[in-house]
Structure 1
Amino acid sequence: MIDYLRGQLAHLETEYIVLDVQGIGYRVFCPNPYVFAGKSEETITVYIHHHVREDAILLYGFSSREEQKLFRKLIDVSGIGPRVALGILSGGNPDTVVAAIHQENITFLTKLPGIGKKTAQRMILDLKDKLEGLGGTASLFDPVPAGASALQDSVPGWPEAREGLRALGYTDAELDQVWKNLKDQVGVDEPVDSVMKKALKLLYAG
Protein backbone atom coordinates (compact mmCIF):
# COMPACT_ATOMS: atom_id res chain seq x y z
CA MET A 1 0.00 0.00 0.00
CA ILE A 2 1.19 3.53 -0.75
CA ASP A 3 1.90 5.61 2.37
CA TYR A 4 3.29 8.76 0.76
CA LEU A 5 4.42 10.10 -2.60
CA ARG A 6 7.21 12.56 -3.22
CA GLY A 7 7.38 14.41 -6.52
CA GLN A 8 6.45 17.58 -8.39
CA LEU A 9 3.03 19.14 -8.82
CA ALA A 10 2.07 18.60 -12.46
CA HIS A 11 -1.56 19.72 -12.42
CA LEU A 12 -4.13 21.09 -9.99
CA GLU A 13 -7.93 20.97 -10.02
CA THR A 14 -10.56 21.89 -7.43
CA GLU A 15 -10.75 18.30 -6.12
CA TYR A 16 -7.39 16.75 -6.89
CA ILE A 17 -3.77 17.23 -7.86
CA VAL A 18 -1.63 15.28 -10.29
CA LEU A 19 1.74 14.47 -8.76
CA ASP A 20 4.61 13.61 -11.10
CA VAL A 21 6.75 10.93 -9.48
CA GLN A 22 9.66 9.98 -11.74
CA GLY A 23 7.60 10.46 -14.88
CA ILE A 24 4.39 8.82 -13.61
CA GLY A 25 1.42 11.07 -12.92
CA TYR A 26 -0.65 10.10 -9.87
CA ARG A 27 -4.12 11.62 -9.48
CA VAL A 28 -4.55 12.35 -5.77
CA PHE A 29 -7.83 13.61 -4.28
CA CYS A 30 -7.22 16.18 -1.53
CA PRO A 31 -9.31 18.10 1.02
CA ASN A 32 -7.90 21.41 -0.22
CA PRO A 33 -5.75 20.97 -3.34
CA TYR A 34 -4.84 24.65 -3.35
CA VAL A 35 -2.59 24.21 -0.30
CA PHE A 36 -0.11 22.85 -2.85
CA ALA A 37 -0.58 25.78 -5.24
CA GLY A 38 2.57 27.63 -6.16
CA LYS A 39 4.79 24.64 -5.43
CA SER A 40 5.15 23.32 -8.98
CA GLU A 41 8.89 24.06 -8.93
CA GLU A 42 9.42 22.23 -5.63
CA THR A 43 9.57 18.59 -4.63
CA ILE A 44 6.63 18.02 -2.30
CA THR A 45 5.58 15.13 -0.08
CA VAL A 46 1.92 14.09 -0.07
CA TYR A 47 0.77 11.62 2.59
CA ILE A 48 -1.48 9.02 1.00
CA HIS A 49 -4.41 6.84 1.89
CA HIS A 50 -4.53 4.09 -0.74
CA HIS A 51 -8.19 3.12 -1.09
CA VAL A 52 -9.13 -0.05 -2.97
CA ARG A 53 -12.68 -1.02 -3.84
CA GLU A 54 -14.22 -3.40 -6.38
CA ASP A 55 -14.55 -0.86 -9.17
CA ALA A 56 -11.69 1.57 -8.49
CA ILE A 57 -8.32 2.20 -6.88
CA LEU A 58 -8.19 5.74 -5.49
CA LEU A 59 -5.51 7.84 -3.84
CA TYR A 60 -6.41 10.41 -1.18
CA GLY A 61 -3.63 12.82 -0.25
CA PHE A 62 -2.82 15.12 2.66
CA SER A 63 -0.26 17.78 3.48
CA SER A 64 0.43 16.36 6.95
CA ARG A 65 0.54 13.09 8.87
CA GLU A 66 -2.13 14.49 11.21
CA GLU A 67 -4.61 14.89 8.34
CA GLN A 68 -3.80 11.42 7.05
CA LYS A 69 -4.31 9.83 10.49
CA LEU A 70 -7.55 11.71 11.14
CA PHE A 71 -8.89 10.72 7.71
CA ARG A 72 -8.25 7.06 8.52
CA LYS A 73 -10.00 7.41 11.88
CA LEU A 74 -12.99 9.08 10.23
CA ILE A 75 -13.56 6.37 7.62
CA ASP A 76 -13.72 3.81 10.43
CA VAL A 77 -16.94 5.46 11.60
CA SER A 78 -20.07 3.81 10.24
CA GLY A 79 -21.69 6.03 7.62
CA ILE A 80 -18.53 7.99 6.77
CA GLY A 81 -16.85 7.02 3.52
CA PRO A 82 -13.71 8.52 1.96
CA ARG A 83 -15.59 11.30 0.15
CA VAL A 84 -17.40 12.43 3.30
CA ALA A 85 -14.17 12.23 5.32
CA LEU A 86 -12.47 14.36 2.68
CA GLY A 87 -15.29 16.90 2.95
CA ILE A 88 -14.89 16.99 6.74
CA LEU A 89 -11.20 17.83 6.40
CA SER A 90 -11.92 20.46 3.77
CA GLY A 91 -14.41 22.11 6.13
CA GLY A 92 -12.18 22.12 9.21
CA ASN A 93 -8.51 21.59 10.02
CA PRO A 94 -7.57 18.53 12.15
CA ASP A 95 -7.23 20.56 15.37
CA THR A 96 -10.75 22.01 15.17
CA VAL A 97 -12.36 18.72 14.13
CA VAL A 98 -10.65 16.83 16.96
CA ALA A 99 -11.53 19.59 19.42
CA ALA A 100 -15.17 19.41 18.35
CA ILE A 101 -15.22 15.65 18.97
CA HIS A 102 -13.54 15.98 22.38
CA GLN A 103 -15.93 18.78 23.37
CA GLU A 104 -18.94 16.88 21.96
CA ASN A 105 -19.77 19.97 19.92
CA ILE A 106 -22.54 18.62 17.72
CA THR A 107 -23.40 22.11 16.45
CA PHE A 108 -19.94 22.48 14.91
CA LEU A 109 -19.82 18.92 13.55
CA THR A 110 -23.19 19.16 11.81
CA LYS A 111 -21.95 22.20 9.90
CA LEU A 112 -19.29 20.06 8.23
CA PRO A 113 -20.17 18.78 4.72
CA GLY A 114 -22.19 15.56 4.73
CA ILE A 115 -22.59 15.34 8.52
CA GLY A 116 -26.02 15.12 10.09
CA LYS A 117 -26.87 14.93 13.77
CA LYS A 118 -26.81 11.11 13.98
CA THR A 119 -23.45 10.88 12.22
CA ALA A 120 -22.03 13.61 14.47
CA GLN A 121 -23.18 11.66 17.54
CA ARG A 122 -21.60 8.50 16.11
CA MET A 123 -18.33 10.35 15.49
CA ILE A 124 -18.23 11.44 19.13
CA LEU A 125 -19.12 7.99 20.44
CA ASP A 126 -16.64 6.13 18.22
CA LEU A 127 -13.70 8.55 18.21
CA LYS A 128 -13.65 10.57 21.42
CA ASP A 129 -11.18 8.17 23.09
CA LYS A 130 -9.24 7.28 19.94
CA LEU A 131 -7.71 10.61 18.88
CA GLU A 132 -4.71 10.84 21.19
CA GLY A 133 -1.83 12.68 19.54
CA LEU A 134 -4.02 14.29 16.89
CA GLY A 135 -4.20 17.80 18.36
CA GLY A 136 -7.58 19.13 19.31
CA THR A 137 -6.21 21.82 21.63
CA ALA A 138 -7.97 24.57 19.72
CA SER A 139 -10.95 26.14 21.41
CA LEU A 140 -14.15 26.25 19.40
CA PHE A 141 -15.53 28.95 21.63
CA ASP A 142 -13.01 31.69 20.90
CA PRO A 143 -14.38 35.01 19.65
CA VAL A 144 -15.02 35.23 15.94
CA PRO A 145 -12.02 36.85 14.18
CA ALA A 146 -12.18 40.58 13.57
CA GLY A 147 -14.13 41.40 10.46
CA ALA A 148 -15.92 38.04 10.33
CA SER A 149 -19.02 38.69 12.45
CA ALA A 150 -20.84 40.74 9.84
CA LEU A 151 -20.09 38.11 7.20
CA GLN A 152 -21.57 35.26 9.20
CA ASP A 153 -25.10 36.52 8.66
CA SER A 154 -24.74 36.65 4.88
CA VAL A 155 -22.77 33.45 4.22
CA PRO A 156 -22.71 31.08 7.22
CA GLY A 157 -19.95 28.94 5.68
CA TRP A 158 -17.46 31.80 5.47
CA PRO A 159 -16.39 32.15 9.15
CA GLU A 160 -15.57 28.42 9.33
CA ALA A 161 -13.76 28.52 6.00
CA ARG A 162 -11.91 31.59 7.22
CA GLU A 163 -10.73 29.73 10.33
CA GLY A 164 -9.45 26.90 8.17
CA LEU A 165 -7.57 29.36 5.96
CA ARG A 166 -6.06 31.08 8.99
CA ALA A 167 -4.82 27.66 10.13
CA LEU A 168 -3.06 27.37 6.76
CA GLY A 169 -1.16 30.57 7.51
CA TYR A 170 -3.18 33.27 5.75
CA THR A 171 -3.49 36.58 7.59
CA ASP A 172 -6.72 38.37 8.48
CA ALA A 173 -5.76 41.15 6.08
CA GLU A 174 -5.40 38.66 3.21
CA LEU A 175 -8.72 37.03 4.07
CA ASP A 176 -10.55 40.35 4.35
CA GLN A 177 -9.21 41.23 0.91
CA VAL A 178 -10.18 37.92 -0.70
CA TRP A 179 -13.68 38.18 0.74
CA LYS A 180 -14.30 41.28 -1.36
CA ASN A 181 -14.01 39.13 -4.49
CA LEU A 182 -15.43 35.95 -2.97
CA LYS A 183 -18.73 37.30 -1.64
CA ASP A 184 -20.22 37.60 -5.15
CA GLN A 185 -19.25 34.00 -6.00
CA VAL A 186 -20.86 32.11 -3.12
CA GLY A 187 -24.45 31.47 -2.13
CA VAL A 188 -25.95 31.70 1.34
CA ASP A 189 -26.30 27.89 1.57
CA GLU A 190 -22.94 27.04 0.02
CA PRO A 191 -21.04 24.27 1.90
CA VAL A 192 -17.95 25.22 3.86
CA ASP A 193 -15.64 23.10 1.67
CA SER A 194 -16.88 24.84 -1.47
CA VAL A 195 -16.39 28.30 0.07
CA MET A 196 -12.88 27.36 1.19
CA LYS A 197 -11.87 25.98 -2.21
CA LYS A 198 -13.10 29.13 -3.98
CA ALA A 199 -11.20 31.29 -1.49
CA LEU A 200 -8.00 29.26 -1.96
CA LYS A 201 -8.31 29.63 -5.73
CA LEU A 202 -8.56 33.42 -5.38
CA LEU A 203 -5.66 33.51 -2.91
CA TYR A 204 -3.52 31.48 -5.30
CA ALA A 205 -4.40 33.78 -8.21
CA GLY A 206 -3.26 36.72 -6.10
Structure 2
Amino acid sequence: MIDFLRGRVAHLETEYVVLDVHGVGYRVFTPNPYGLSRTEEPVQLFIHHHVREDAIQLFGFPTREEQSLFRKLLDVSGIGPKVALGVLAGGRPDTIAAAIQQENVNFLTKLPGIGRKTAQRMILDLKDKLGVQGPAAAAAELMEPAAAAGTEGGSAWAAAREALAGLGYREAELDRAWSRIQAGLTGDESPDALMKKALQQLFQG
Protein backbone atom coordinates (compact mmCIF):
# COMPACT_ATOMS: atom_id res chain seq x y z
CA MET A 1 0.00 0.00 0.00
CA ILE A 2 1.35 3.43 -0.98
CA ASP A 3 1.29 5.97 1.87
CA PHE A 4 2.97 8.92 0.16
CA LEU A 5 4.86 9.81 -3.00
CA ARG A 6 7.59 12.41 -3.40
CA GLY A 7 8.68 13.55 -6.84
CA ARG A 8 8.61 16.23 -9.52
CA VAL A 9 5.34 17.34 -11.11
CA ALA A 10 5.88 16.32 -14.74
CA HIS A 11 2.40 17.07 -16.06
CA LEU A 12 -0.80 18.83 -14.97
CA GLU A 13 -4.43 18.29 -15.95
CA THR A 14 -7.64 19.69 -14.46
CA GLU A 15 -8.18 16.62 -12.26
CA TYR A 16 -4.76 15.07 -11.73
CA VAL A 17 -1.00 15.49 -11.80
CA VAL A 18 1.64 13.13 -13.08
CA LEU A 19 4.31 12.78 -10.42
CA ASP A 20 7.75 11.68 -11.66
CA VAL A 21 9.21 9.47 -8.92
CA HIS A 22 12.66 8.25 -9.94
CA GLY A 23 11.64 7.99 -13.58
CA VAL A 24 8.23 6.41 -12.98
CA GLY A 25 5.18 8.58 -13.72
CA TYR A 26 2.31 8.19 -11.24
CA ARG A 27 -1.06 9.66 -12.18
CA VAL A 28 -2.43 11.12 -8.93
CA PHE A 29 -5.89 12.66 -8.67
CA THR A 30 -5.78 15.65 -6.35
CA PRO A 31 -8.25 18.39 -5.27
CA ASN A 32 -6.37 21.34 -6.76
CA PRO A 33 -3.82 20.22 -9.37
CA TYR A 34 -3.01 23.77 -10.47
CA GLY A 35 -2.07 24.63 -6.91
CA LEU A 36 1.00 22.43 -7.39
CA SER A 37 3.90 24.11 -9.10
CA ARG A 38 5.64 22.50 -12.06
CA THR A 39 9.21 23.05 -10.93
CA GLU A 40 12.22 20.85 -10.42
CA GLU A 41 11.60 20.94 -6.68
CA PRO A 42 10.06 17.69 -5.35
CA VAL A 43 6.44 17.65 -4.23
CA GLN A 44 5.13 15.29 -1.57
CA LEU A 45 1.57 13.97 -1.70
CA PHE A 46 -0.05 11.72 0.89
CA ILE A 47 -1.78 8.93 -0.99
CA HIS A 48 -5.05 7.08 -0.77
CA HIS A 49 -4.74 3.90 -2.86
CA HIS A 50 -8.25 3.21 -4.20
CA VAL A 51 -8.93 -0.23 -5.65
CA ARG A 52 -12.09 -1.13 -7.56
CA GLU A 53 -12.98 -4.08 -9.75
CA ASP A 54 -12.41 -2.03 -12.90
CA ALA A 55 -9.71 0.42 -11.81
CA ILE A 56 -6.82 1.17 -9.46
CA GLN A 57 -6.51 4.87 -8.71
CA LEU A 58 -4.23 7.06 -6.62
CA PHE A 59 -5.59 10.13 -4.82
CA GLY A 60 -3.04 12.53 -3.35
CA PHE A 61 -3.12 15.36 -0.82
CA PRO A 62 -0.56 17.89 0.42
CA THR A 63 -1.39 17.19 4.08
CA ARG A 64 -2.26 14.26 6.32
CA GLU A 65 -5.41 16.10 7.39
CA GLU A 66 -6.76 16.10 3.84
CA GLN A 67 -5.84 12.45 3.38
CA SER A 68 -7.63 11.53 6.60
CA LEU A 69 -10.77 13.55 5.82
CA PHE A 70 -10.93 12.10 2.31
CA ARG A 71 -10.97 8.59 3.77
CA LYS A 72 -13.67 9.52 6.27
CA LEU A 73 -15.80 11.03 3.50
CA LEU A 74 -15.63 7.76 1.58
CA ASP A 75 -17.36 6.08 4.54
CA VAL A 76 -20.42 8.29 4.05
CA SER A 77 -23.20 6.65 2.03
CA GLY A 78 -23.50 8.31 -1.39
CA ILE A 79 -20.01 9.84 -1.42
CA GLY A 80 -17.49 8.31 -3.78
CA PRO A 81 -13.92 9.40 -4.59
CA LYS A 82 -14.98 12.02 -7.16
CA VAL A 83 -17.39 13.76 -4.79
CA ALA A 84 -14.94 13.51 -1.86
CA LEU A 85 -12.27 15.11 -4.03
CA GLY A 86 -14.66 17.93 -4.94
CA VAL A 87 -15.43 18.54 -1.27
CA LEU A 88 -11.74 18.97 -0.50
CA ALA A 89 -11.36 21.24 -3.51
CA GLY A 90 -14.07 23.47 -2.09
CA GLY A 91 -12.78 23.98 1.44
CA ARG A 92 -10.00 23.36 3.94
CA PRO A 93 -10.23 20.27 6.16
CA ASP A 94 -10.65 22.26 9.38
CA THR A 95 -13.41 24.37 7.81
CA ILE A 96 -15.31 21.30 6.60
CA ALA A 97 -14.86 19.54 9.95
CA ALA A 98 -16.17 22.58 11.83
CA ALA A 99 -19.20 22.77 9.52
CA ILE A 100 -19.99 19.11 10.17
CA GLN A 101 -19.61 19.48 13.93
CA GLN A 102 -21.82 22.58 13.96
CA GLU A 103 -24.39 20.87 11.68
CA ASN A 104 -24.04 23.74 9.23
CA VAL A 105 -26.03 22.29 6.32
CA ASN A 106 -26.05 25.60 4.42
CA PHE A 107 -22.26 25.68 4.33
CA LEU A 108 -21.92 22.01 3.36
CA THR A 109 -24.37 22.31 0.47
CA LYS A 110 -22.13 24.99 -1.05
CA LEU A 111 -19.42 22.35 -1.51
CA PRO A 112 -19.24 20.74 -4.98
CA GLY A 113 -21.47 17.69 -5.36
CA ILE A 114 -23.13 17.99 -1.95
CA GLY A 115 -26.92 18.26 -1.74
CA ARG A 116 -28.98 18.66 1.41
CA LYS A 117 -29.50 14.92 1.98
CA THR A 118 -25.81 14.17 1.53
CA ALA A 119 -24.90 17.02 3.88
CA GLN A 120 -27.21 15.56 6.51
CA ARG A 121 -25.61 12.13 6.08
CA MET A 122 -22.17 13.69 6.48
CA ILE A 123 -23.26 15.21 9.78
CA LEU A 124 -24.88 12.00 10.99
CA ASP A 125 -21.93 9.78 10.06
CA LEU A 126 -18.96 12.04 10.83
CA LYS A 127 -19.90 14.47 13.57
CA ASP A 128 -18.43 12.30 16.32
CA LYS A 129 -15.43 11.12 14.28
CA LEU A 130 -13.73 14.47 13.67
CA GLY A 131 -11.39 16.49 15.87
CA VAL A 132 -12.90 19.29 17.94
CA GLN A 133 -12.61 22.82 16.57
CA GLY A 134 -12.20 25.77 18.92
CA PRO A 135 -15.14 28.22 18.94
CA ALA A 136 -13.02 31.11 17.67
CA ALA A 137 -11.57 29.08 14.82
CA ALA A 138 -14.98 27.75 13.85
CA ALA A 139 -16.54 31.21 13.83
CA ALA A 140 -13.76 32.63 11.68
CA GLU A 141 -13.71 29.75 9.21
CA LEU A 142 -17.47 29.35 8.76
CA MET A 143 -18.44 32.89 7.85
CA GLU A 144 -20.60 32.89 4.75
CA PRO A 145 -18.58 32.96 1.52
CA ALA A 146 -20.63 35.90 0.28
CA ALA A 147 -19.53 37.91 3.31
CA ALA A 148 -15.92 37.00 2.75
CA ALA A 149 -15.85 37.61 -1.00
CA GLY A 150 -18.75 39.91 -1.69
CA THR A 151 -21.63 39.11 -4.04
CA GLU A 152 -19.52 39.37 -7.21
CA GLY A 153 -20.22 36.38 -9.44
CA GLY A 154 -22.87 34.87 -7.16
CA SER A 155 -22.55 32.18 -4.54
CA ALA A 156 -20.65 29.75 -6.78
CA TRP A 157 -17.76 32.14 -7.32
CA ALA A 158 -17.91 33.25 -3.67
CA ALA A 159 -17.41 29.64 -2.55
CA ALA A 160 -14.66 29.07 -5.11
CA ARG A 161 -12.96 32.32 -4.12
CA GLU A 162 -12.97 31.37 -0.43
CA ALA A 163 -11.37 28.02 -1.22
CA LEU A 164 -8.71 29.67 -3.39
CA ALA A 165 -7.97 32.20 -0.66
CA GLY A 166 -7.50 29.23 1.66
CA LEU A 167 -4.77 28.01 -0.68
CA GLY A 168 -2.89 31.27 -0.14
CA TYR A 169 -3.85 33.29 -3.23
CA ARG A 170 -4.06 37.06 -2.70
CA GLU A 171 -7.15 39.21 -3.31
CA ALA A 172 -5.54 40.92 -6.31
CA GLU A 173 -4.69 37.56 -7.91
CA LEU A 174 -8.24 36.32 -7.42
CA ASP A 175 -9.73 39.51 -8.87
CA ARG A 176 -7.49 39.17 -11.93
CA ALA A 177 -8.40 35.51 -12.43
CA TRP A 178 -12.11 36.30 -12.10
CA SER A 179 -11.92 39.07 -14.70
CA ARG A 180 -10.26 36.65 -17.13
CA ILE A 181 -12.77 33.82 -16.80
CA GLN A 182 -16.00 35.84 -16.60
CA ALA A 183 -16.50 36.26 -20.35
CA GLY A 184 -16.57 32.51 -21.01
CA LEU A 185 -19.04 31.56 -18.27
CA THR A 186 -22.61 30.35 -18.77
CA GLY A 187 -23.76 31.12 -15.23
CA ASP A 188 -24.43 27.47 -14.43
CA GLU A 189 -20.90 26.54 -13.31
CA SER A 190 -20.38 24.87 -9.95
CA PRO A 191 -17.83 26.21 -7.43
CA ASP A 192 -15.57 23.30 -8.40
CA ALA A 193 -15.72 24.21 -12.09
CA LEU A 194 -15.03 27.89 -11.37
CA MET A 195 -12.15 26.96 -9.09
CA LYS A 196 -10.51 24.88 -11.82
CA LYS A 197 -10.92 27.67 -14.40
CA ALA A 198 -9.45 30.21 -11.98
CA LEU A 199 -6.55 27.92 -11.08
CA GLN A 200 -5.67 27.60 -14.75
CA GLN A 201 -5.41 31.39 -14.95
CA LEU A 202 -3.50 31.64 -11.67
CA PHE A 203 -1.05 28.99 -12.81
CA GLN A 204 -0.39 30.90 -16.04
CA GLY A 205 0.30 34.06 -14.05
- TM-score, normalised to structure 1, is 0.91
Give the CA deviation at 1:133: 6.5
Q: What code does the residue aligned with 1:15 have?
A: E
Instruction: Select the structure that is richer in helix.
Output: 2
What's the secondary structure of 2:184's corresponding residue?
A: coil
> What are the ranges of 5 or more consecutive residues in structure 2 without an aligned counterpart?
none
C-alpha separation in 1, matches of 2:86 and 2:133: 18
| Mapped partners of 1:204, 1:181: distance in 2 | 13
- Aligned residue type for 1:140: L
What is the DSSP-based 3-state SS (H/G/I as helix, E as strand, rest coil) of the residue aligned with 2:7? strand
Deviation, 1:186, is: 2.7
Q: Are 2:5 and 1:2 equivalent residues in the alignment?
A: no
- Any idea what SS the aligned residue of 1:7 has? strand
CA RMSD of aligned residues (A): 1.8
Matches within 5 A, 1:151-162: 151=152, 154-162=153-161
3-state SS of 2:99 partner: helix
Matched, 1:144 2:173: no
Q: Deviations over 1:74-118 (max 9, x none)?
A: 001111111110111112221221121111111121122221211
Contact 2:151 2:158 in 1 (8 A): no
| Same amino acid, percent of matched pairs | 62
TM-score calculated relative to the size of structure 2:
0.91
Pairing of 1:2-151 with structure 2 (within 5 A): 2-37=2-37, 39-132=38-131, 137=138, 138-141=140-143, 144-145=147-148, 148-151=149-152
The CA distance in 2 between the partners of 1:177 and 1:116, in whole Å, is 30
Structure 2 CA distance for aligned equivalents of residues 189 and 62 of structure 1: 28
The answer to whether the Cα contact below 8 Å between 1:113 and 1:192 also exists between their aligned partners in 2 is: yes
Q: Which runs of 5+ in 1 are unaligned?
A: none
* In structure 2, C-alpha distance between the alignment counterparts of 1:141 and 1:44, rounded to whole Å: 32
Deviation at 1:134, TM superposition (A): 8.0
> Structure 1 17/5 Cα, relative in aligned 2: closer, same or farther at 3 Å?
same
